[in-house]
Amino acid sequence: MADNSLFRIKIRLSEMLVHGIIYFCASLSIILLAGIMGYVGYRGISSVNFKFLVEVPSTIKGTTGIAGNIVNTLYIIILTLLIAIPLGVGAAIYLNEYARPGRLVRLIEFTTETLSGIPSVVFGLFGYVFFGTTLKLGYSILAGALTLSLIILPLITRNTQEALKTVPESYRTGALGIGATKWHMIRTILLPSAMPGIITGIILSVGRIVGESAALLFTAGSGYLLPKFGRYGEGLLKKILQPGGTLTIELFLSMEKAKYDTAFAIAFVLLVIVLGINLLTKYLSVRLNVDKKDT
């Protein structure tokens, strides 16, 4: 009995030690995040106001703003998602539902995982040479969006694959058993059931797009002007082929020019955007899971 009691005491002590280390690591990560957000907020929030968000930099007018960079960021996000979502979701459907397990599938999955590990600056160099020079897109929002689509494609593909794998096999067999075609089954049953995971991957991809700078520095350029609407709104489309610096590019350039107040203000705006994206991801995941259970 004494040995058992001593053994139990040792187990309790080891568990307490492990729990203490785990809680310390978790608390440290929270403290680091709070410290970064607090410092950036302290340095940047005083420079953020309505004019800063709706004006563009002008030496003549003496204004400093990020309206053009916000619009460019929206352009980059929309174009990148329009390119990457069909490719990523389509590739995941093929790998999970149509392709037979074998060397080809393993090769595609290995390639996808390798792409996700390549530094973004390498994508930027490739985008500059291929999209900018070979395809003659130059420094443009379209070249940046095409480059970023290569970066987020593995993320969307892998998240969609994992989401499709969580759908019970009985859904597939039941739909096929009542005479549904495979594509009808995928479109009406599998994709709606896997939608929470797919949406999560897409929103996380948006966060990656917002925080990217190295790849865009080589492809999208650093333009900060707002698009001109034109008589029939053609300026909005022409903007796609013009240089456009995102918020992260402007942050980098502000640090280079020693404009620290502007840099911290942009950093604060970026933190708010990223925090909003994470909260939106959490909300949509919970909401879609609740709706799926109700149905």
pLDDT at 79: 93
Rounded Cα–Cα distance for residues 163 and 92 (Å): 10
Q: What is the pLDDT along the chain (295 residues), one digit of tens a residue?
A: 445 565 566 667 778 888 889 999 999 989 998 999 899 989 988 888 888 888 888 777 777 888 888 999 989 999 999 999 999 999 999 888 888 877 888 888 888 888 888 888 999 999 999 999 999 988 999 999 999 999 999 999 988 988 888 888 888 888 888 888 888 888 888 888 888 888 888 888 888 898 888 889 899 888 888 888 766 667 788 889 888 888 999 898 888 888 888 889 999 998 888 888 888 877 877 776 665 565 5
pLDDT at 290: 62
Number of C-alpha atoms within 13 angstroms, CB side, residue 78?
Answer: 10
The amino acid present at 69, given as its one-letter code, is N
* Residue 255 buriedness (CB in 10 A; 0-12 / 13-18 / 19+): middle
Report which of 211, 208, 213 is spatially closest to residue 249, judged by C-alpha positions. 213
pLDDT at 188: 87
pLDDT at 130: 93
